[in-house]
Amino acid sequence: MSEEHEATGMTTERLEALRGEHRKLDLAIKEMTARPYLTADEQIEVASLKKRKLMMKDEIFRMATALGVEP
């Protein structure tokens, strides 16, 4: 396998790993926000998770665009 194909394979694996992590963050956010009451610390945690999820979504989009695949 050429170096370019190896790099693309690694990048594709990284893209899939990011997508999996994005799904995990989404699930964690949904679980936390389903609670009837969140403490101040939990509200801060949800905000932090949402920020990480958005940054990850941006990275997924950039990587998918660079690879020419569906984000």
- Residue 26: both structure tokens together: 């989404």
- Residue 6: both structure tokens together: 């190896």
Helices then strands (H, E): number in the chain?
Answer: 2, 0
pTM value surpassing 0.85: no
Of the candidates 12, 29, 30, the one whose C-alpha atom is nearest the C-alpha of residue 69 is 12
Q: What angle do CA 27, 51, 45 make, to 5 degrees?
A: 65
- Residue 63: both structure tokens together: 């990587």
19-64 residue pLDDT tens: 999 999 999 999 999 999 999 999 999 999 999 999 999 999 999 9
Reduced to 3 DSSP states, what percent helix, strand and coil does the chain have, rounded to the nearest 5?
85, 0, 15
